[in-house]
Structure 1
Amino acid sequence: MSREGPDVTSPLAAVLDGLAALERRIRAAVADRRNGDPNPDDPFRGLYLSDEVIEALLDEPRMPFAAATGGTRLGALARAARLTPLDEELLLVALAPDVDGRFEQFYGYLNDDVTKRRATVSLALRLCGVAEASASGRARLDAAAPLVRCCLLTVDQPDRPLLSRTLRVPDRVAAHLLGDDRPDPALTEVLARPDLTGMPTPPGADRLARAAAAGADLIYLREQPGASGLATGLAGLALLDRPVLGVDAVRLTAAAERAELARALVREAILTGAGLVLGPIGTDGPGPWLDALAEVPAVVLFGATGWDPSWSRRSALLLDAAPMAAGQRAALWRAALDKRPAVAADAAAATAHFVLDPVQVRRAADAAALDALSDGGTIGAAHLRRGARSQNAAGLERLARRVQPSVAWPDLVLPPAVLGQLREFAARARHRHLVLDEWRMRPGGGRGRGITGLFAGDSGTGKTMSAEVIAAELGLDLYTVNLATVVDKYVGETEKNLERIFAEAAGVNGVLLFDEADAIFGKRSEVRDAHDRYANIESAYLLQRMETFDGLAILATNLRANLDEAFTRRLDTVVDFPTPDEELRRTLWDRCLGGLLPRDADVDLGFLASAFELSGGHIRSAVVTAAYRAADGNRAVTMADVVAAVAREYRKLGRLCLEREFGPYLTLAR
Structure 2
Amino acid sequence: MTAEPGPEPGPEPDHGPGHGPGRRHLRQLLERAVRVELRVRRAVEARRRTDPNPDDEFRGLYLTEETILRLLEEGRPFPAPDDATEPGAPGEPAEPGAESAVYEERAVTDSPLSGLIREFELTALDVEILLITLVPDLDDRFEAFYAYLNDDVTRRRPTIGLALGLCGLTPADAAARARLGPHAPLRSGGLLLVEEADRPFLGRALRVPDRVTAHLLGDRTPDPRLADLLAAWHPVEGVGDAKALAGAVDSGVLLTYLREDQGGAGTALAATALSLTGRGVLGLDLARLAEDPTPVEAVRALVREGRLTGAGLVCAPVDALSREHPELLRLLTSAPLPTAMVGRVPWDAAWATRPPLLLNAPRVEPSVRSRLWHEAYPGPAALPADLDVGLLLAPFLLTPDQIEGAAAGAAQTAALTDGPVDATDVRRGARAQNAAGLDRLARRIEPSVGWPDLVLPPDVHAQLRELTARARYRDQVLGTWGMRPGGGRGRGVSALFAGDSGTGKTMSAEVIAADLGLDLYTVDLATVIDKYVGETEKNLERIFSEAAGVNGVLLFDEADAIFGKRSDVKDAHDRYANVESAYLLQRMESFDGLAILATNLRANLDDAFTRRLDLVIDFPVPDAEHRRLLWERGLGGALPRSPDLDLDFCADSFELAGGNIRSIAITAAYLSAESATPVTMPILIHAIQREYQKLGRLTLASEFGPYLRLLT
CA contact (8 A) 1:342 1:377 kept: no
Q: Is the 1:94–1:118 contact (alpha carbons within 8 Å) kept by the matching residues of 2?
A: yes
- Label 1:477 to 1:229 Cα distance change in 2 as closer, same or farther (>3 A): same
Q: How big is each residue's C-alpha offset from its partner over 1:569-600, in whole Å with a ceiling of 9 and x where there is no partner?
A: 11111111111111111111111100111111
In the TM superposition, 1:584-595 aligns within 5 A as: 584-595=626-637
Measured after TM superposition, the shift of residue 66 of structure 1 is 7.3
Match of 1:247 in 2: 284
Q: In the alignment, what sits opposite 1:178?
A: 217
More divergent stretch after superposition (215-224 vs 500-509): 500-509
Aligned partner letter, 1:183: P
Q: SS at 1:590's partner residue?
A: helix
- 1:318 pairs with one of 351, 358, 361: 358
Please tell me the residue identity of whatever aligns with 2:589.
E
* In 1: Cα distance, 2:115 partner to 2:59 partner: 43
Q: Which residue of 2 aligns with 1:34?
A: none
Aligned length: 626
2: distance between equivalents of 1:107 and 1:298? 40
Preserved CA contact (<8 Å) 2:435 2:549: yes
Q: Which residue of 2 aligns with 1:56?
A: 70
Taking the aligned partners of 1:334 and 1:235, their CA distance within structure 2 comes to 19
1:514 alignment partner, SS class: strand
Distance in 2 between residues matched to 1:92 and 1:201, nearest whole Å: 46
Cα 1:159–1:560 shift into 2, 3 Å: same
Match of 2:308 among 256, 271, 285: 271
The one-letter code sitting in structure 2 at the alignment partner of 1:585 is R
**Partner in structure 2 of residue 28 of structure 1:** none
Number of the residue aligned with 2:190? 151
Moved more, 42-51 or 355-364: 42-51
Question: Does structure 2 conserve the Cα–Cα contact (< 8 Å) formed by 1:602 and 1:638?
Answer: yes
Partner Cα separation in structure 1 for residue 368 and residue 233 of structure 2? 18
2:273 to 233, 236, 245: 236
- Does structure 1 retain, via aligned residues, the 8 Å contact 2:260–2:344? yes
The offset of 1:286, in angstroms, is: 5.8
Counterpart check, 1:334 vs 2:348:
no
Secondary structure of 1:601 counterpart: coil
Which whole-Å CA distance do the structure 1 matches of 2:170 and 2:156 have between them?
21
1:413 aligns with 2:465: no
Residues 1:386 and 2:428 aligned together: yes
Q: How does 1:500-649 map to 2 (within 5 A)?
A: 500-649=542-691
**2:177 is aligned with 1:135:** no
Unaligned runs of 5+ in 1: 1-41
In structure 2, what is the equivalent of residue 119 of structure 1? 158
Mark the CA change 1:425 to 1:295 in structure 2 (over 3 Å): closer, same or farther: closer
Per-residue deviation, 1:377: 4.1
Do 1:280 and 1:302's aligned partners in 2 also have CA atoms closer than 8 Å?
yes
How far apart are the structure 2 equivalents of 1:286 and 1:312?
13
TM-score by length of 1: 0.90
Matched, 1:396 2:438: yes
- The letter for the 2-side match of 1:331 is R
- SS of alignment partner, residue 224 of structure 1: coil
The answer to whether residue 244 in structure 2 is matched with residue 204 in structure 1 is no
User: Given that residues 275 and 296 in structure 1 are in contact (C-alpha distance below 8 angstroms), is that contact kept between their aligned partners in structure 2?
Assistant: no
Deviation per CA, 1:43-100: give whole Å up to 9, x if none: 9897332223222212213441678x99732122111100110000000010010001
Among 257, 260, 277, which residue is 2:294 paired with?
Answer: 257
2:170 partner SS: coil
Deviation, structure 1 residue 280: 0.6
Q: Secondary structure at the match of 2:61?
A: coil
Please state whether the residue corresponding to 2:595 is helix, strand or coil.
Answer: strand
Give the C-alpha shift of residue 348 in structure 1: 1.1
Distance in 1 (CA, whole Å) between partners of 2:342 and 2:438 is: 22
> Match for 2:609: what amino acid?
F
Deviation readout 1:354-395 (Å, 9 max, x if unpaired): 101111101111111111111224211111111111111112
Q: Distance in 1 between matches of 2:473 and 2:188?
A: 53
Distance 1:46 1:440 in 2: 84
Question: Which letter maps to 2:169?
Answer: V
Per-residue deviation, 1:339: 5.3
Tell me how far apart the structure 1 counterparts of residues 638 and 651 of structure 2 sit (CA, whole Å): 21
Per-residue deviation, 1:416: 1.1
CA distance in 2, matches of 1:66, 1:270: 30
CA separation in 1, counterparts of 2:299 and 2:570?
Answer: 56
Say which of 509, 523, 528 aligns to 1:481: 523
- Offset of 1:295 from its aligned partner? 4.4
Instruction: Give the 3-state SS of the residue equivalent to 2:383 in structure 1.
Output: coil
CA 79–195 in structure 1, closer or farther in 2 if over 3 Å, else same: closer
2:228 to 189, 197, 212: 189
- 1:118 positional shift: 0.3
Question: Which amino acid is 1:64 matched to?
Answer: F
Measured at CA, do residues 291 and 530 of structure 1 come closer, stay the same or move farther in structure 2, by a change above 3 Å? closer
Contact 1:221 1:320 in 2 (8 A): yes
Percent of residue pairs bearing the same amino acid type:
59
The reply on whether 1:96 has 2:135 as its aligned counterpart is: yes
CA distance in 2, matches of 1:297, 1:377: 49
Given residue 276 of structure 1, which amino acid in structure 2 is its aligned partner?
L
CA offsets per residue over residues 435-464 of structure 1, 9 Å max, x none?
Answer: 111111111121111111111111111111
User: Whole-Å Cα distance in 1 between the matches of residues 696 and 156 of structure 2?
Assistant: 92
Q: What residue in structure 2 maps to residue 367 of structure 1? A: 409
SS of residue matched to 1:456: strand
Describe the SS at the equivalent of 1:575.
strand
Amino acid at match of 1:330: S
Deviation at 1:488, TM superposition (A): 0.3
Matches within 5 A, 1:14-93: 47-64=61-78, 72-93=111-132
Query: What is the alpha-carbon distance in structure 2 between the residues aligned to residue 201 and residue 265 of structure 1?
Result: 28
> Is the 2:668–2:687 contact (alpha carbons within 8 Å) kept by the matching residues of 1?
yes
- Structure 2: distance between partners of 1:295 and 1:420: 56
Note closer, same or farther for the CA distance 1:145–1:598 as it changes in structure 2 (3 Å cut).
same
- How has the CA–CA distance of structure 1 residues 194 and 159 changed in structure 2, closer, same or farther, with 3 Å as cutoff? same
Tell me the CA shift for residue 523 of structure 1: 0.7
Conserved? CA contact 1:393–1:507, under 8 Å: yes
CA distance in 2, matches of 1:553, 1:484: 17
Query: In structure 1, what is the Cα distance between the partners aligned to 2:133 and 2:626?
Result: 88
Structure 2: gaps of 5 or more residues? 1-55, 82-102
Name the CA shift for 1:648/1:46 in 2 (closer, same or farther; >3 Å). Answer: farther
SS in 1 for 2:354: coil
- Give the structure 1 partner of residue 494 of structure 2: 452
SS in 1 for 2:520: strand
User: 1:482, CA displacement in angstroms?
Assistant: 2.8
Q: Take 1:383 and 1:392, find their aligned partners in 2: how far apart are those partners?
A: 15
- Residue 222 of structure 1 deviates from its aligned partner by 0.9
* Aligned-partner SS, 1:374: helix
What is the root-mean-square deviation in Å for CA atoms of aligned residues?
Answer: 2.0
Aligned to 1:225: 262
